[in-house]
Structure 1
Amino acid sequence: MPKTTPFSEQKEREIDLTTWSRYSQYAMFKDFASPHFSITTRVDVTAIMKARQNHGASPFNAMLFCIMQAFNAVPELRTRFRDTAGQPTVIEHNRVHPSVTVPIENDRFAFCEIPYTSDWQAFNNHCQSAIAAGKAQTELDEKTIDTDYWIFMSCLPWLNFTDMQHPLKGPDDCIPRLAWGKFVPQPKIASKGDDRWEAAVNLTAHHALVDGIHMAQFFQNLENNCRNFS
């Protein structure tokens, strides 16, 4: 029996444009010259740092897990549009997965594709093996060109940034981008006396598929995931 993986369980459904509640937004923004919008905010990552202290959890893997939980909880962030045989189609994936950058020699980076699963231990294992394979690359190799069930992500652990602009292939590029920055210690709350940490998180998405409310839902989910991570 073939081994089951998150990728082998990938499914999608085509959205009926004639009954789609967001069709008017889609039709308006799809052909804009610059249809992407971006929001940056700060997220409390104290629980992730505590998990590192308590049982050695990787902050990178833990943050990635919390982020992917948040993406998969918002259907609009799993939605993509395509040109199929000259006809516009919109599909919703049952699950999206992270494609992240990992450092390689000479201050360069490579891409690393990680299958997402909602089980933390399984996802952490996927991260460890995929990141090790990614770091062994010697050149930049794009393996995601034929599929669109990805979230393209970067981590900038050196910077406490306030905004971010991502490279995009053009106005039809509808795969969301996300970046997060340095985990920064915050002043202690007198009533609690605990160390607190925050990180900047930026999300960029295509306005034909995603509105501000969906961004807000994502960040609310992310805040809850980070707060409850253990």
Structure 2
Amino acid sequence: MKKLDIASWDRRDIYKVFRGMGVPHFSISTELDVTALLAFADRKKLPTYPLALYIMCRAANEVRAFRLRLRGEEVVEHESLHIAPTVPWKNGLFNFVTAPYHEDPERFISAYREAEARSRAMDALNLEDDAAVGDAALYTSCVPWFHLAAASNPVFSAEDSIPRVVWGKYVRRGRRSVMGVSVQCHHALVDGRDVALFLQKAQELADGAAAVFAPLARRRR
């Protein structure tokens, strides 16, 4: 983690404008084409949720603005972000999971599955893992019951600068499959073009699923 020099930051004035707003967060919703991702997962008999988590976390890590965080009057840049999704829990509820990021998809998914199993077995909400990584996280959630057109996420305060990514049910568009995605960020740190870059990288990873997740496919042979 390193401290950003706000005085020499090229978007310093934009930062100051949104830094003073009571509701500085914005949300952009669109669709990702997941045809290649679903075809690969079906062919290799792999669950899609961990694959989607990897895609979102890797794309976020590759966009610098997504790794910036507010710290009082300072801005810091994390070296990497960990994934912090929700998972089904007891009695129809959900629990929180936090797992470390690894660029290697095999290591990433293995770490996620361990963290998921731990959260599912808990009798109380898992808030400890989230506290351990602090704001070096990407919050994600999935609503698989319906196609997602838009979403708004709760935040702790106007200072909360952790990006949120939510996606919904896969639906058909002719011969293609798409997934509604909503991305929510703090406008003092992230602009629309940063979200566009994140979505572009996520789309590229989904399109290249066979190559991206080749280590998983080889292991299952």
Tell me the TM-score normalized by structure 1: 0.87
Q: Matched residue of 2:32: which SS?
A: strand
Of 16, 35, 47, the match for 1:27? 16
1:124 match: 109
Q: Matched residue of 1:39: which SS?
A: strand
Aligned pairs for 1:162-177 within 5 A: 162-177=149-164
Cα deviation 1:15-63 (Å, max 9, x = unaligned): 1111111211111101101100000100011122112222122200111
AA aligned opposite 1:14: K
Task: Check whether the contact 2:95–2:120 (CA below 8 A) recurs between aligned residues.
Answer: yes
1:229 match: 209
Q: Matched residue of 1:203: which SS?
A: strand
Structure 2 unaligned regions, length at least 5: 211-221
AA aligned opposite 1:89: E
Offset at residue 14 of structure 1 (A): 0.5
Q: Matched residue of 1:113: which SS?
A: coil
Of 165, 177, 180, the match for 1:178? 165
1:106 match: 91
Q: Matched residue of 1:216: which SS?
A: helix
Structure 1 unaligned regions, length at least 5: 1-11, 189-195
Q: Matched residue of 1:173: which SS?
A: coil
* Counterpart-to-counterpart distance in 1, 2:100 and 2:52: 15
Task: Check whether the contact 2:148–2:168 (CA below 8 A) recurs between aligned residues.
Answer: yes
AA aligned opposite 1:183: Y
2:187 match: 207
AA aligned opposite 2:201: N
AA aligned opposite 1:135: R
AA aligned opposite 1:62: L
Offset at residue 141 of structure 1 (A): 2.9
The share of aligned pairs that are identical, in percent, is 32
> Following superposition, which runs of at least 4 residues in structure 1 exceed 3 angstroms of deviation?
none
Offset at residue 145 of structure 1 (A): 3.6
Of 64, 68, 71, the match for 1:75? 64
* Counterpart-to-counterpart distance in 2, 1:48 and 1:229: 5
Q: Matched residue of 1:202: which SS?
A: strand
Of 89, 98, 103, the match for 2:74? 89
Higher helix share: 2
Aligned length: 208
Offset at residue 187 of structure 1 (A): 1.2
Of 19, 23, 32, the match for 1:43? 32
AA aligned opposite 1:95: S
Offset at residue 138 of structure 1 (A): 2.1
Task: Check whether the contact 1:37–1:205 (CA below 8 A) recurs between aligned residues.
Answer: yes
Offset at residue 186 of structure 1 (A): 2.6
Offset at residue 185 of structure 1 (A): 2.5
The answer on 1:140 being equivalent to 2:125 is yes
Task: Check whether the contact 2:29–2:181 (CA below 8 A) recurs between aligned residues.
Answer: yes
Offset at residue 150 of structure 1 (A): 0.5
Give the root-mean-square deviation of aligned CA atoms.
Answer: 1.1
Q: Matched residue of 2:180: which SS?
A: strand
Task: Check whether the contact 1:104–1:138 (CA below 8 A) recurs between aligned residues.
Answer: no
